[in-house]
Structures are given as structure tokens and as C-alpha cells.
Amino acid sequence: MATVSLATVSRRFAAGSAAVDAVDLDVRHGEFLAVLGPSGSGKTTLLRLVAGFERPDAGRITIGDRIVADGPLFVPPEARRIGMVFQSYALWPHMDVRRNVGYPLAVQGITGAAYADRVAKALNAVGLTGYETRRPAELSGGQRQRVALARCLVMEPAVVLLDEPLANLDVHLRALLQAEFTAFHRATGATMIYVTHDQTEALGLADRVAVMDQGRIVQLASPEELYRAPLTPMVARFVGRGAVIPAIVHTVHNGRADVEVLGRRAQLRVAPDQATGAALVCLRPEDLAVGTNGPVARVARKAFQGSHVAIEARLDGAVLPMHLGPDQAAALGDTVGIDIRDGWVIPARD
């Protein structure tokens, strides 16, 4: 177990702007932190900086109480004692499962009974006992990722880094392995940093989520807070697919604001120091309901989702995602009245 902390860490590539731009980040002891962002946001570079595969151009990285990168000081990855799980699994095709999993032990010169014992334990933990002599090519995608996990487990790392580990798997396996990651985290107590572009993975797995955009961390918060109170329009759109709509804040009182939005007055949640005047608000499907006296919008898209019907209602260029219950009906092109029950005034602009 260890903390991981980054202080004004930057990494620039030859052409263009910084991939990671003066990032400050403190990952707590034994925390499961997800780094969420669109492709090109710098999240993988951030992870590779912690692992030591990239060298920062500026800033300091600390793992536990040990500085691993600071100016000329640089600890190479092989000396950082980190576990890494790759999107491609990175299993060595010329070794069988046993030798793949036991590799970190072989590196340390561990042989004989201790080696066999620890490999068996790690394979047992991921449910692959009996697969010792298989080659990676003979395994399914899910099994390969479990071997990669076992290889990580066997070295009992203080920090585990996961780089989109589920991106190459189908939906069903993803759900299964997500549960295994949670169990893995609970069993080892290791600090985990999990990079993904999939918000359901990030929100479902992590203690805290860091949202990255253009090389910077735009918000670091618990999944609940991230969803309910996004700091910027980018986070509001990217997490939970909220509608971001211009509005005017009239008064702020006791965590509530009197806001003029879509031509109506509504009471929305707000940060205590929110100024009055023009602002953007985030409206999610559960904030909206079909009503009788609200603004009138037109149903532009409709998709049956089982428990509900998701529709997109359009009004003055705004696109509002809404859910209709089983007893409500609306056809494409119909007009519906919209009742704004709740919402969030976004504190910052992009």
C-alpha cells in the first residue's frame, strides 16, 4: 500500500501541446482511483508517467515516501515495484501461463517451492488453477486478462496501474471482470489507478474519479459528486450525458438558486459561492419530467430501453434527454410539456 502523488507534472511530446499539463494529483493509501477522459486527453500518458515508461519534463512524482521522478532524479519502471495491467494484456507468447505469472518472481530470483506456491496462489485467486501449462494463444480474452491480473497479484505490488484493461472484451465479460477488479482491490488493499474512457466503469468501480481533458484534471471527486455537481460543462456532458443549457441566475440562497432557464423559473442546486448572472446549467433525465405547465418541446428521438423509454426533446436548439415511464406515451414529432424538478448550476466555463 502506498500513496501516489504528482506535483505540477508535465509531459510534452515533440509536436503540439502538452499531453499532461502541470497536473497535481494525490492518490490516497489503498484508494481505487479512476482516471476518466476522452481519447487524447492525456490519461494514458499520466499512467505511464506514474509507471515510469514516460519521463516528466517538469514536476515531481512520489510513490509512498519515495520520490521517483524529480528533475534529474528518475527511478526506472523496473525499480518502482508497480503492477501494471495492459489493454493488450501483454502476455509473452513464448511462455506458458505458469512462466508468465511467475515472471516477477523469477526476476527476484525466487525459485523452487516458494515460486510454485505463490504462482499457485495467484492463479487460484483469479480462478485459473489447472491452466498452468497453457499458452496465451490457447486462452480466451477474459482468461488472458485474468492471467495478466495474476501476474500483477504475484508480485504483491504497492500500486497497481490498469490501462483500459476491459477495452478489448465484450460487454458480458466486462461486467464479470469489473466485479473481479473490485474483489482484487478488496483482497490486496493495493492503491489502484484505473484508466478508462468508459464512464460506467469509472463510476461503478472507483472511490474517486479524476476527469481529464486536454492534459489537465478538470475535476477530482467521488462518483456521486461528479454526477451530481460537475465543475465544468465538459464534465457535465462527458459524465452521465447531461444537457448543458444557458441560463440566468437571479438569487442564490442556502444551496438553492432561483434560475431562469428555457423561459421558465426553476429552483436548482448551486455551489455556495455562485455569482448571479449568466451561467450554464446541467439537466439530467431524472431532473426532468413530462408536465402540463412547463415549456413545450418536440420529441426528436425515441428509444425503448426496457424499464423506460428514452427520448430526446428539442426546444430552441437545446436537446433534453428524458425518460418516459411505461404508462407515458409519446410519438416522434409530438409536443410535450417539460417540468424542471431539479438541476445543477455549473460553477465554471470550459
For 250, the grid coordinates are 437571479
CB of 280 to another protein, least distance (A): 40
CB of 95 to another protein, least distance (A): 8
Indicate the residue among 83 and 233 with the shorter CB distance to another protein: 83
CB of 344 to another protein, least distance (A): 40
d(CA 331, CA 300): 9
Which residues make up the interface to another protein (CB under 8 A)?
Answer: 51-53, 76-84, 86-88, 90-94, 103-104, 106-108, 148, 151, 155, 161
In sequence order, what are the residues at sequence separation of 6 or more whose Cβ sits closer than 8 angstroms to the Cβ of residue 200?
A: none
In 3D, which of 49, 57, 54 has the Cα closest to residue 5? 49
CB of 155 to another protein, least distance (A): 6
HSE, side-chain direction, 13 A CA sphere, residue 244: 20
Indicate the residue among 79 and 183 with the shorter CB distance to another protein: 79
Indicate the residue among 90 and 330 with the shorter CB distance to another protein: 90
CB of 154 to another protein, least distance (A): 9
Degrees, nearest 5: CA angle 172-129-175: 15
d(CA 146, CA 91): 11
Which strands, in side-by-side order, build the sheet including 288-304?
A: 318-324, 309-315, 288-304, 335-340
Indicate the residue among 48 and 284 with the shorter CB distance to another protein: 48
d(CA 92, CA 346): 48
Indicate the residue among 107 and 179 with the shorter CB distance to another protein: 107
Phi-psi region of 80 (alpha: psi -120 to 50; beta: other; left: phi over 0): alpha
CB of 77 to another protein, least distance (A): 4
